């Protein structure tokens, strides 16, 4: 988080610097009187979840963001001076500083940044660089990232998080978020899709008292995009639900009985690595500079037009 953020920062500005928050959610918070970081901290129990589309998980994320901005104590710690009193089971100094991560010695599939329960139990971990994380496409441990929830593994009696509407997932999806798609009439996909380009939702009022929102985002099975045509597509949400456009196939069939590209459900299942996210940010900035009125801008950006 940028150092200029403080307790008086408004929630819209906070949304610009926080992954997964979104301007639409920030506006809803403002509408309910939660206008600054300080308001998030002093909000009574249940005040955040009373805001539409703010689940308990998102409310916890908001509080953690606010705590991280206001509580600057850990940044003032002199790690070099305190290293000698840290127990042998603590994280290596380079990991605590964010310079390296921990991963399994052989065939790792995830990395660790905190002393989570896996780190405390696994003695076969070694330090790895962030370059290694990117080159091996490692996922962050769900305990370290805070995405693990009781009730998903090992605690069947816990009440699960309420289901989130697929339309809302697409409307709130942010750059770098990973989405799991279930198709209505086609086989599903084994791997999640990464959001590689986003646009702000548009809305209209077809009738009095009714507001519809539409949004188009670009998703890819390659974490940073730039793949073949059949590895990317547009995910579109509108009044008729969620659908895929520019289908991820080598050749589109126009037979009358061909299955539709309607999406039955969309779920957010995580995020790409930090370095991959910043690559996507750079690509998004280039995309925003596309020529006006040219619908071949993707080829333009690739140097093909």
Using 50, 70 and 90 to split pLDDT, how confident is the model at 207?
low
> Which of 40, 73, 106 is at the close of a domain?
73
In a domain, 161, yes or no: no
Residues 175 and 60 in one domain: no
Residues 95 and 69 in one domain: no
Residues 99 and 190 in one domain: no
Residues 174 and 291 in one domain: yes
In a domain, 92, yes or no: yes
Residues 176 and 219 in one domain: yes
pLDDT at residue 208 greater than cutoff 70: no
> Which of 25, 54, 73 is at the close of a domain?
73
pLDDT at residue 236 greater than cutoff 90: yes
* Predicted pLDDT of residue 218: 92
Residues 91 and 123 in one domain: yes
> How many CB atoms sit inside 10 A of residue 69's CB?
22
How far apart are alpha carbons 141 and 93 in whole angstroms?
19
- Cβ burial of 21 (10 Å; 0-12, 13-18, 19+) is buried
pLDDT at residue 89 greater than cutoff 60: no
Residues 238 and 286 in one domain: yes
∠ CA(234), CA(240), CA(242), 5° rounding?
35
pLDDT greater at residue 304 or residue 31: 31
CA distances from 27 to 30, 52, 53, 199 (A): 5, 11, 12, 17
In a domain, 2, yes or no: no
Counted domains in the chain: 3
Contacts for 136 with CB less than 8 Å, ≥ 6 apart? 108
Question: Is 246 in contact with 233 (CB distance < 8 Å)?
Answer: yes
In a domain, 154, yes or no: no
Residues 298 and 174 in one domain: yes
Residues 199 and 283 in one domain: yes
Q: Which residues span the domain enclosing 225?
A: 166-302
> Which of 113, 145, 177 is at the close of a domain?
145
Using 50, 70 and 90 to split pLDDT, how confident is the model at 55?
confident
In a domain, 6, yes or no: no
């Amino acid at each position: 988080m940028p150092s200029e953020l403080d307790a008086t920062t408004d929630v819209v500005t906070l949304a610009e610097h926080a992954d997964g928050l979104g301007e639409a959610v920030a506006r809803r918070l403002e509408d309910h009187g939660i206008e600054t970081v300080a308001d998030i901290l002093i909000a009574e129990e249940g005040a955040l979840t009373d805001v539409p589309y703010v689940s308990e998980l998102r409310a916890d994320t908001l509080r953690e963001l606010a705590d991280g901005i206001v509580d600057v104590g850990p940044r003032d710690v002199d790690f070099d001076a305190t290293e000698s009193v840290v127990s042998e089971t603590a994280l290596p100094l380079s990991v605590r500083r964010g310079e390296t991560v921990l991963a399994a010695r052989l065939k790792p599939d995830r990395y660790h940044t905190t002393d989570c329960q896996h780190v405390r139990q696994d003695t076969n971990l070694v330090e790895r660089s962030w370059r290694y994380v990117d080159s091996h496409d490692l996922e962050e441990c769900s305990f370290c990232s805070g995405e693990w929830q009781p009730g998903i593994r090992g605690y069947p009696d816990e009440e699960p998080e309420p289901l989130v509407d697929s339309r809302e997932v697409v409307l709130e999806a942010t750059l770098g978020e990973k989405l799991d798609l279930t198709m209505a009439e086609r086989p599903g996909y084994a791997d999640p899709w990464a959001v590689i380009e986003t646009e702000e939702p548009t809305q209209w009022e077809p009738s009095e008292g009714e507001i519809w929102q539409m949004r188009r985002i670009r998703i890819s099975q390659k974490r940073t995009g730039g793949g073949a045509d059949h590895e990317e597509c547009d995910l579109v949400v509108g009044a008729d639900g969620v659908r895929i456009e520019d289908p991820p196939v080598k050749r589109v069939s126009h037979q009358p009985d061909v299955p539709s590209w309607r999406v039955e459900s969309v779920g957010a299942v995580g995020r790409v690595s930090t370095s991959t996210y910043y690559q996507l940010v750079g690509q998004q900035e280039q995309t925003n500079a596309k020529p006006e009125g040219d619908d071949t801008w993707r080829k333009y950006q690739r140097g093909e037009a």
